[in-house]
Amino acid sequence: GILLHILHLFAPNLRLNVPRTNADDICCNPLSMGAIKKMMEEEIPGIYVLSLMIGKNVVQDTENGFFMDVNQQVSLVCSQLAQDARLKGGFNAMGFSQGAQFLRAVAQRCPSPPMKTLISVGGQHQGVYGLPRCPGESSHICDVIRKALNSGAYSDMVQKHLVQAQYWHDPLNDDLYKKHSLFLADINQERAVNETYKKNLQLLEKFVMVKFLQDSVVDPVVSEWFGFLKTGQAKETETLQESLLYKEDRLGLAAMDKAGKLVFLATEGDHLQFTREWFNANLLPYLR
């Protein structure tokens, strides 16, 4: 089995019985994503794990997680995958936090090499409306981001240069979101139905979504299961199954659900907080 994982910011570190620091979950940090990679290599002998880096080094990878156009990041990942001979027979993908929706875009846009299983760990598939807490060393960046989002998430400037704006989903300004969201509105078929996206996503054998029950980072947390706030207000939420996206089956999710391809997992804990035991019992079986 081949596993690919991508990770991104806005997360406290993963609890993995290794020494902790407060560094962010950048691609090759040995204490966060590096620990996950090492753990998988220990648990599944012979597995090939590719940790995606967006940029030439860890510093660039961190900055790009905040400031590089997501569509450009997805294109870079697609070309990395296409050039890796070890992936040509297909691979399983695991995305942490915002990395999960970026990997879903990879599945929808780049069907070769084929992604078999996509595991979304705390991903925000309907975006976010709020930035409640941004832990660790990035908190000063988060203050800047919050101000930019509140003042004009859908302005051209903010959309092009702020990653979090590209999955900012304002239920009170639905028309603005649909018209100006450069990334999320496109991959969620908000403007038109792209039949290729729909066909490609349905090529997945499994799409596993993990929700953290005490998540204090993702708002609303139901986005981790592809639900969101009902349009026109910011209090009541709806599940994926209650949404228009599902009822009209604009992305193929209803068909996937009926075919048993969607898996909804919930776990106690805050954003990306889980134990090695939980990971091994609940996620590893999808990677073997």
Residues designated as active site: 97, 215, 271
Q: For the CA atoms of 58, 81, 32, 101, what is the dihedral angle to 10 degrees?
A: 110
Residue that the structure tokens 């290794």 belong to: 18
Task: Answer yes or no: are the C-beta atoms of 154 and 173 closer than 8 Å.
Answer: yes
Residue that the structure tokens 């986005």 belong to: 223
Helix (H, G, I), strand (E, B) or coil at 93: strand
Cα distances (angstroms) measured from residue 199 to each of 108, 244, 251: 8, 18, 8
Task: Answer yes or no: are the C-beta atoms of 4 and 21 closer than 8 Å.
Answer: no
Residues sharing a CB contact under 8 Å with residue 154, sequence separation 6 or more, in sequence order: 165, 168, 170, 173, 176, 177, 179, 180, 181
Other Cβ atoms less than 10 A from the Cβ of 45: the count is 6
Pairwise CA distance, residues 264 & 165, whole Å = 26
Cα distances (angstroms) measured from residue 133 to each of 146, 234, 271: 10, 18, 10
Pairwise CA distance, residues 123 & 127, whole Å = 9
Look up residue 257 and give its two tokens: 């659900």
Pairwise CA distance, residues 55 & 65, whole Å = 10
